[in-house]
Amino acid sequence: MSSSNLDTLRHSAAHVLAQAVKEIFPDIKVTIGPTIVNGFYYDFYKSEPFTEEDLKKIEDKMQTLIKAALPFTHTTMSKAEALDYFTKIEEPFKVELINDLNEEEYSIYTQGDFTDLCRGPHIENTKEIKAFKLLSTSASYWRGDENRESLQRIYGTAFTNPKDLRLHLQKLEEAKERDHRKLGKELDLFSIQEDIGGGLVCWHPKGARIRSIIEDFWKNKHYQNGYDIIYTPHIAQKGLWETSGHWDFYRDNIYSPMLIDETEYLIKPMNCPFHIQVYKGQPRSYRDLPIRYAELGTVYRYERSGVLHGLLRVRGFTQDDAHIFTTSELLNDEIDNALNFTLKMLRQFGFKEFEVYLSTRPEKYVGEDHEWEQATEALRLAIEKNGLKYEVDPGEGVFYGPKIDVKIKDQLDRSWQCSTIQVDFNLPERFNVEYTGNDNKKHKAIMIHRALLGSLERFFGCLIESYGGAFPLWLAPVQVKIMCISERQADYGKKIHATLLQNNFRSETDLREEKIGYKIREARMERIPYMVVIGDKEQENNTVGIRKRGEKETVEITVENFIVQLNSERENELKTGFPED
């Protein structure tokens, strides 16, 4: 079944869900029930959350409605007819939608005793829904506005056959086991604590070690690719954000000003104005360009508590940020370099499949038409030069310029938004960002915003789930765990530990008086890449017993050969994204 037909099936299942809820709970008011990726939901006006028992009753009722083979019939109503009908059946949210849409004619779908305001399309009858499942519930707000009515949402999914549904449910179960919030706690990687505040992340030692490895790798590759790394303050005077336009257009996401020496300051939501000020610190010539500034800059943005989600939606995060100042003549090369760099970096972390989107000029925009055309063409050429399939999102560019967005596919075939490359015609104009051309005249510089990984927090959450916490050797916070069978081998174990540290491997020792089986099970749960087991034989032979993650056999090997093996594996992993280095 095509994606559009599957979408129609799921949309129809959402209507059956609403019908079932109304038959069981007649006083509940319905709102909307769209399809989403891999499923659907429907929101209901209900004071108390749905229970597991409720979901079971609703599923049973849906099965009855499906077996009845109720046809989906389509009619239309005038505005007056639609208002009259939904007012009589006491569905105030539908009445509000009718008034807001303000159309001459409204599309209506009915199955059995249930009628809904809906553009469609739908399947022929309910019996076509061969496999469905209600998955979960959550709270929501009418129209996403926290000042409006609180609603109860039911999520579900539907497929054309039970096999596809079963496979999908298995994937969902695996996703639960890989949930970064669950693994973050089990592996002691990070925490978000109520006493500190929602959406504010504490990186624990092991999580911080992985972050440090990512940052060091990131910095090294940026220097190799012609970037200068800078650091900028966490606050700035309000006037900077007024000049940039963020105070006017982004105010809902900016925290309230603080007063310092009778001057208002804002905690930064973006890094770009700082990079511009560094650029403008001295006169620039066309000979100086391109200038590429990169920063792992921590920013703070207000997010409603209801949308905060582990590391994926936070209030304080570190952007993998860069801004490129260039000329019109160099624009194509800079965008191509930025996209190529993006793909190499993502491949280094194990991502090989991408969804790429080219977003073009919206109705309201700044800049000249010829600038938009040149920038959009440069983005398109870069995508095609890198051999990527892509979709064009007409009119979905931001008001200040066109952009490329890159989504990565993880090991469960889920998409994650990470990378973006955006051309900006707005900030160079607002801040008068210029350079002197070879004609000795002033020209406006072109500015490119670029993020490879997105934010470190979100990217780390993605890595945890994609790897299921089993990080590759080069990223693992602990690469080797040394376990002694008895206290007799403790000194030898400490010696091996010191040797590994001297060779730049992250090693830990487990010298507790516990059974070796218990130690091995614990190390397995910690997803350590290599376990080293030491007994009397290994100590006498000056060897170690190594067991690689996922394998059952322990192999005896000299310490020297073990280090060679570790070095080889680490070097091969580091060639994944940058084979030419």
The CATH number of the domain where 562 resides is what?
Answer: 3.40.50.800
**In terms of Cα–Cα distance, which of 512, 494, 496, 487 is closest to 546?**
496
pTM, two decimals, is: 0.87
DSSP 49: P
pLDDT in tens, 514-555: 999 999 999 999 999 999 999 999 999 999 999 999 998 999
pLDDT bin (cut points 50, 70, 90) of residue 2 is: low
Q: Would 579 be classed as within a structural domain?
A: no
Does residue 404 sit in the same domain as residue 498? Answer: no
Q: Round to whole Å and give the CA distance between 265 and 258.
A: 5
pLDDT bin (cut points 50, 70, 90) of residue 364 is: confident
Active-site choice (94, 168, 344, 449): 449
pLDDT bin (cut points 50, 70, 90) of residue 484 is: very high
Active-site choice (61, 211, 403, 450): 403
Task: Give the contacts of 133 (CB within 8 A, at least 6 positions apart).
Answer: 59, 156, 157, 158, 165, 169
pLDDT bin (cut points 50, 70, 90) of residue 144 is: confident
Does residue 221 sit in the same domain as residue 326? Answer: yes
Does residue 493 sit in the same domain as residue 525? Answer: yes
Most confident range (mean pLDDT) of 168-177, 419-428, 470-479 is: 470-479
CA 288 to chain centre: 35
Does residue 252 sit in the same domain as residue 224? Answer: no
Active-site choice (43, 116, 321, 424): 321
| Mean pLDDT of the chain, nearest integer | 93
Does residue 284 register a pLDDT over 90? yes
**In terms of Cα–Cα distance, which of 326, 345, 411, 397 is closest to 366?**
397
Q: Does residue 403 carry a catalytic annotation? A: yes
The amino acid occupying position 120 is: G
Q: Does residue 202 carry a catalytic annotation? A: no
Instruction: Give the lowest-confidence range in 3-12, 126-135, 526-535.
Output: 3-12
Q: Would 358 be classed as within a structural domain?
A: yes
How high is the pLDDT of residue 580?
58
Q: Round to whole Å and give the CA distance between 446 and 286.
A: 12
Q: Would 317 be classed as within a structural domain?
A: yes
Active-site choice (206, 221, 315, 323): 323
How high is the pLDDT of residue 96?
96
Does residue 309 sit in the same domain as residue 366? Answer: yes
Q: Would 475 be classed as within a structural domain?
A: no
Task: Give the contacts of 169 (CB within 8 A, at least 6 positions apart).
Answer: 133
How high is the pLDDT of residue 371?
87
**Of 130, 149, 174, at which residue does a domain stop?**
174
How high is the pLDDT of residue 135?
96
How high is the pLDDT of residue 517?
92
Does residue 371 sit in the same domain as residue 440? Answer: yes
**In terms of Cα–Cα distance, which of 64, 104, 62 is closest to 82?**
104
Does residue 218 sit in the same domain as residue 343? Answer: yes
Tell me the backbone φ, ψ of residue 78, rounded to 5 degrees. -70, 170
Does residue 457 sit in the same domain as residue 547? Answer: no
Q: Would 255 be classed as within a structural domain?
A: yes
Count CB-CB contacts under 10 A for residue 116: 22
Does residue 312 sit in the same domain as residue 431? Answer: yes
**In terms of Cα–Cα distance, which of 246, 71, 43 is closest to 155?**
43
Q: Would 181 be classed as within a structural domain?
A: no
The amino acid occupying position 134 is: L
Q: Does residue 301 carry a catalytic annotation? A: yes
CB-based contact 126:68 (threshold 8 Å): yes
How high is the pLDDT of residue 306?
77
How high is the pLDDT of residue 127?
95
Active-site choice (118, 272, 418, 484): 272
Domain containing 193 — which CATH number? Answer: 3.30.930.10
**In terms of Cα–Cα distance, which of 21, 19, 41, 20 is closest to 32?**
41
What total of structural domains would you count in the chain? 4
- Which whole-number Å values give the CA distances from 112 to 22, 25, 94, 435, in the listed order? 12, 16, 19, 69
Does residue 453 register a pLDDT over 90? yes
- Domain, as residue range, for 352: 186-230+271-467
For the residues 472-478, what does the mean pLDDT come to? 97
How high is the pLDDT of residue 581?
52
Q: Round to whole Å and give the CA distance between 171 and 452.
A: 28
3-state secondary structure 344-405: HHHHHCCCCCEEEEEECCCCCCCCCHHHHHHHHHHHHHHHHHCCCCEEEECCCCECCECEEE
How high is the pLDDT of residue 463?
95
Ramachandran region, residue 432 (left: φ > 0; alpha: ψ -120 to 50; beta: rest): left
Instruction: At 251, list the tokens.
Output: 């105010």
- Which whole-number Å values give the CA distances from 38 to 22, 155, 183, in the listed order? 24, 10, 24
pLDDT in tens, 196-253: 999 999 999 999 999 999 999 999 999 999 999 999 999 999 999 999 988 988 888 9
How high is the pLDDT of residue 365?
82
Ramachandran region, residue 413 (left: φ > 0; alpha: ψ -120 to 50; beta: rest): left
Q: Would 179 be classed as within a structural domain?
A: no
Q: Would 512 be classed as within a structural domain?
A: yes
- In the block, residue with structure tokens 């054309």: 160
Tell me the backbone φ, ψ of residue 276, rounded to 5 degrees. -65, -40
| Whole-number percent of the chain with pLDDT over 70 | 99
Active-site choice (301, 361, 458, 570): 301
How high is the pLDDT of residue 413?
79
Does residue 209 sit in the same domain as residue 108? Answer: no
Does residue 318 sit in the same domain as residue 363? Answer: yes
Q: Does residue 180 carry a catalytic annotation? A: no
Does residue 161 sit in the same domain as residue 247? Answer: no
DSSP 313: B
Q: Does residue 422 carry a catalytic annotation? A: no
How high is the pLDDT of residue 519?
93
Instruction: At 554, list the tokens.
Output: 């322990």
Tell me the backbone φ, ψ of residue 310, rounded to 5 degrees. 50, -130
**Of 467, 495, 511, at which residue does a domain stop?**
467
- In the block, residue with structure tokens 């900030």: 427
How high is the pLDDT of residue 3?
61
Q: Is 329 helix (H, G, I), strand (E, B) or coil?
A: coil
Active-site choice (19, 111, 152, 319): 319
